[in-house]
A and B are shown apart, each in its own frame.
Chain A
Amino acid sequence: MTRRVLVGGVGYHHLSDYSLGPLVVARLQAESWPPEVDLRDLSFGQLAFVQEQLAQEGVYRRVVLVGAQARGGPPGAVRCYAWSFRLPPPLEIQARIAEAYTGIISLENLLVIGTHFAIWPPDVRVVEVEPAWETFGEALSPPVAAALPAVVEAVRQAALTGWSA
């Protein structure tokens, strides 16, 4: 029986709004958490993470991923959803694997590649924010900075309670 929960912050360091995931996790790490919750900065090679999960074979019963993902909505918009496990066509999966191997850190790619390699438990929850800035730098854009408290709370809820998206 697997009982652990993973909260993963996906993104880059020093890349403005695309640093949101690691930033949220860093904030959450300052709080006290139940021992079964792992808070992880997922700003490293996504295939490395997938391979690590394959080796561990289902440690988690729930995964919560947080990060910035451009989908064309208003900057700062927060979206919470349960991952659909729907895969794109094989050519696109290939392209996403190639991207992951060549240094791209993307929330969407991680979801797709993880699904392809069947690393996810049935309960995968996503908290994502529409970015405004994609620039080298420490600061979040004003709309994403304004959304940060809501994002932190959404991740906390997703990790600890029933799904309230």
Chain B
Amino acid sequence: MCFKNLPIEFDAEGRPRLRPGVVDPYRYQVRSLAEEEERIAALLARNGYIRSVDFDPVTRVAGALAFHAVVDLRERRVLAANAMATLFRGYEVILKGRDPRDAAFISSRACGVCGGVHATCSCLALEMALGVQPPPLGIVVRNLLLALEFLYDHPLHLFLLAGPDYSQALVEPTAPSLWAQAQRTPAPNAHWHGFRTIADIMTALNPLSGTLYLEALHMTRVIREAYVLLGGKYPHPETVIPGGVTTTVSLSTFNEIYSRLLQFIDYAKKAVAIWDDLCDFFYAANPLYRQLGTRPKNLADPGIWDDPEAYDATYAHCTAWGERRWATPGVILNGELVTTSLQAINLGLEEFVEHSYYEPWETYPVRTDPLGAPLSPYHPWNKETKPRPTGQSWRDRYSWATSPRWDRQVVEAECTARMWITAVAQKLPHRRFLEPTGTSLRMALPAGHLPARELEWKVPEVWNAFERNRGRAYCIPYTALVALDNWLYGLDLLKRGETRVHTRFTIPKTGRHIGVGFWGAGRGWLTHHAVIEDGALANYQIITPSTINASPRDPWGNPGPYEEAVLNSPILEEFERTEDFTGIDILRVIRSFDPCMPCTTHVMVEGQDRVLTTEVNTCACGLDD
């Protein structure tokens, strides 16, 4: 039994069904936020040391994110936090009524960072809806492309976006005592990364000039080259289509990718060493850093990288092929794995809009999933996107992000969730380089220019901002090894003459066909839910990791993951006068999630079939209608 809040139980054969006797099973009561808002407003009015702090925009994140916090500078804690996706995505509106074959190409544009994940996720949704199974090499190429894309994404975040938060340029002025300590502290992994002290690492993280910053810039080029050898173009590959890929694969292409992949195997050894040293230094310097960005261990992930022998694109077998992925799907609640079933993950998913700039919807067209299990009216297959820009109000509506929840609980999307679920589920069938132990994931990195290295990512004792960054660093070797495994798999297929990469399909002109793409972006969870009716897209819903993480409060008043993590954080910055407060700790927490908001950078013009790409200033002092 994995559901505590939704009225779903399982019969003797493990089939989900509605719990009998529950009247109006998906009904809920909305908790008012008015009292809380009034309390904070009164505190702000009474006390000079309680300040309203607004980050608009939050810099060094992808896209449009603003953050409002109320901070008690005397007690050094955060009293209120609101994450605001400041612009509307709108792809759901654009796609409605279109030919399903447009979906991959159009939805791909949802993000310029995650340049291929949306195309792939869209293809999976359509493959399920249309009953198309790609050939093994098509699946392998897709796996390779998505692994290469994450190898572009993770260093970009670690060294260009979040990395500067730990650089000399930011640490020295905001925590002088920490900087002094860093200068005295030898780096334990110096033999892997070459930096003698922690201060040397921090200096190398300096933006624009630091060697780690510049090296990451270079490495993104290496991996992008590998990507375009297979995908033809990045971002927005046009070679990824339902039924597989259209790319021509040869041994020579594979060899060219290999040389670049090997560079990443070495780079991974170094990246992990750097983030291990940084995280451990901060914990040792001040144990309160363990509290920075803490949240309960509640994470969800639909898994990624399909087994070419198992993936048949059907919903009926989704749990079986899902559990054979290189990243096992699953949900972790309070540190415990509650399911690895893709069907259960899908049934538990709901999206709420009480504190978002959308109108609720009345329709409930899909009452059961394709296996007859109960679906909520708030499930993406039933959701209707009805944008309604209004004034900003902390008690009412303040974000273009919605509040996706699983079993009505706040779960987090994270690339680390891939390792975490795979480690604890121990269902991984592909163990050439990876070994889940139940509490860790062991990785065997082969020798390149650097010697071979065994790495072990361990389930963290506390889930916080530092472990998010450390986890992302370990995702570099994990992802590189998935790529290498798929590279070997693909090579074997080529040797056997299994060179087919695509399965033809047609769009049925009548009837309703539904599908879901269970996949992942650089930051974790990605799903596309498609409903095709009479040959056209009747509904299309995208849930990105940053929609989940940047979500505003839900109907029960629970804060979204960014908000909750900031609320749980102490203020550790060193400052004498309140006007010197910079909010670096809050920013470290937000950036540890690797926010990616370009999927929200479109605004619907009321009354017109138009989408703008204009920045909207949503200063927390209020937004007019």
Chain A residues within CB distance 8 Å of chain B: 15, 18, 44-45, 47-48, 51, 90, 93-95, 97-98, 101-104, 116, 134-137
Contact = CB atoms under 8 A, between A and B. Distances in A.
Contact of B217 (A15, A51, A135, A137): A51
Contacts of B76: none
Given A15-B613, A93-B208, A136-B602, A45 B217 contact: no
Contacts of A101: 62, 113, 156, 160, 220
B187 interface: no
B164 interface: yes
A93 B209 CA distance: 12
B63 interface: yes
Given A94-B207, A101-B113, A136-B610, A48 B224 contact: yes
B161 interface: yes
Interface string B50-89: 0000000001111100000000000000000000000000
Given A44-B233, A45-B224, A48-B221, A102 B614 contact: no
B612 A103 contact: no
B112 A102 contact: yes
A103 B111 CA distance: 7
Give the top 7 A-B pairs by smallest Cβ distance, nearest first.
A103-B112, A102-B62, A51-B221, A136-B611, A94-B207, A135-B610, A102-B113
A47 B220 contact: yes
A112 B59 CA distance: 18
- Interface SS, A side: helix
Interface of B: 59-63, 94, 111-113, 115, 156, 160-161, 164, 207-208, 217-218, 220-221, 224, 233-235, 596, 598, 602, 605, 610-614
25 contacts: A18-B613, A44-B234, A44-B235, A47-B217, A51-B217, A90-B207, A94-B208, A95-B59, A95-B60, A97-B160, A97-B208, A98-B61, A98-B160, A98-B161, A101-B62, A102-B62, A102-B63, A102-B112, A102-B113, A103-B112, A103-B598, A135-B605, A135-B610, A136-B613, A137-B610
A98 B60 contact: yes
Contacts of A47: 217, 220-221
Contacts of A48: 221, 224, 234
A45 B235 contact: yes
A134 B614 CA distance: 7
Nearest to A95: B59
A2 B60 CA distance: 37
B263 to A, nearest CB: 15
Nearest to A70: B614
A29 to B, nearest CB: 18
B60 A94 contact: yes
Contacts of A98: 59-62, 160-161
Nearest to B94: A136
A22 to B, nearest CB: 14
Nearest to A51: B221
